[in-house]
Amino acid sequence: MGATGTGKSKLSIDLANRFPSEIINSDKMQVYKGLDIVTNKVTVEEQQGIPHHLLGVINSDADFSAEDFRCHASLAVESIVDRNLLPIIVGGSNSFIEALVDDEDLQFRSKYDCCFVWVDVSLPVLRSFVSDRVDRMIDDGLIDEVRVTFKPDADYTRGIWRAIGVPEMDQFLRAELTGFIDDETRARLLVAAIDKIKANTCRLIWRQLAKIHRLRDLLGWYIHRVDATEMFLKRGEEADVAWEKQVVGPTAAIVWSFLQQRSEDVNHAVTMNSILMPSFAPKSPSLAISPADLATAVAAATR
C-alpha cells in the first residue's frame, strides 16, 4: 500500500523474486487496457517474468467498481494459493483493498490472514518526485498517447478516462483539433495541462494517505510502515543500496515474520487437533513456502 510514486510496484516485484509469489494489481486505473504511460503500468521487462493479475485487462470504457475488484481479486487469490504460492496485492487504490479484505460477510478474513505494508515517503520529497515524474512521462510520450486515444465526447467520469493525465489534456487537444492554434497559445495550453496533472497528482496523494490513516487509525488495521524517503534523496548506485537496505530488506523481514508466525499457528493447530480429535483430519491452510525455504529466501534478501 502507499501513495502514488512511492515504489510499490517495484517492491512487489522485488519481494516476488525472493518469495514464490504472483502479483495482483489493485490500482483502479491500471486494471484498464491502454494508456500505459498515463497509468504508469509496469512494463513486461520490469515485471521480470513474475505473473501479474488484473493488469491492463479491462476494456477502457467499462466501469470497474470496488465490488468488481473484490470478485476478480478473490478468484486470483484463490488460484494463487491453490498453487502453493503467495499472493502479493499491490496498488494505491485503498478502496479496492478495503472492499476485498473487509467484505460484508467477512469471507476473505475467514479464509486468509493479511500482512499490510505501507511504503511511505516524506511529502515534500514525494511531491518533488512526482512533479519530476510527470515531466519524464511527457518526455516518454504521454501527450501522443493521450492524443491518439482522445475522444471529444469522452465521459471523464467513466473507465480509464478518469485517469490523471487524460481530462487535464482536454482543452489542449480540443484546441489542436480546430487547426487554428498558434504556437504561443499551444505552448500556454500545454503548460497549463501539465500543471493540472501535477496538481491533481498531489491531491491524489493526499486522498490516498488519508485513506491509509483511516484504515489504520479508525478501522484498526495493523499496517507496517516502511519509510522509503532515503532512497528518493539519493541517485544512482547509492539509491539502489538505500532501496535494498531501507525498503526491501525490512519488508522481506516483515513478510518472513508474518509467514513464520502463520506456520507456527498452523503447526500448533495441527498438533492440538491430533490430540483432541485424532479421528479427524485437521483442516489447515497450506503455506506457500516451507519455513526452511523462507529462511533461505530472507537471508538472501537481507544480506
Q: Is residue 104 a part of any domain in this protein?
A: yes
Residue 32 pairs with which residues in a beta bridge?
58
pLDDT at residue number 282: 28
Q: Are strands 116-120 and 86-90 parallel, antiparallel or unpaired?
A: unpaired
Q: Is residue 3 a part of any domain in this protein?
A: no
Confidence of residue 181 (pLDDT cuts 50, 70, 90): confident
Q: Which residue bears the cell 483511516?
A: 214
Residues of the domain holding 60: 8-301
- Residue 104: pLDDT above 90? no
pLDDT at residue number 286: 36
Number of H helices, E strands in the chain: 13, 5
Strand, helix or coil at 116? strand
For residues 157 and 301, the model is more confident at 157
pLDDT at residue number 281: 26
- Residue 296: pLDDT above 80? no
Three cell numbers written together for 17:
523474486
Quote the DSSP letter at residue 286.
P
List the one residue out of 229, 234, 228, 232 whose CA is nearest residue 250.
228
| d(C-alpha 193, C-alpha 95), whole Å | 27
Return phi, psi of residue 9, to 5°: -65, -40
| d(C-alpha 9, C-alpha 250), whole Å | 16
Q: Are strands 116-120 and 21-25 parallel, antiparallel or unpaired?
A: unpaired
Q: Is residue 197 a part of any domain in this protein?
A: yes
pTM, entire model: 0.86
Give residue-wise pLDDT tens across range 24-52.
999 999 999 999 999 999 999 999 999 99
pLDDT at residue number 270: 59
| Of the listed ranges 1-10, 245-254, 273-282, the one predicted with least confidence | 273-282
pLDDT at residue number 180: 81
Q: Is residue 39 a part of any domain in this protein?
A: yes
The CATH number assigned to the domain holding 188 equals: 3.40.50.300
Span 16-21, average pLDDT = 96
Q: To 10 degrees, the CA torsion angle through 106, 32, 255, 15?
A: 160
- Residue 273: pLDDT above 60? no
pLDDT at residue number 263: 80
Of the chain, the percentage scoring pLDDT greater than 70 comes to 87
Residue 165 near residue 140 (C-beta atoms within 8 A): no
pLDDT at residue number 17: 96
Q: Is residue 164 a part of any domain in this protein?
A: yes
Q: Is residue 1 a part of any domain in this protein?
A: no
The total number of residues written for the chain in this structure: 303
The total domain count for the chain is 1
Q: Is residue 2 a part of any domain in this protein?
A: no
Q: Is residue 171 a part of any domain in this protein?
A: yes
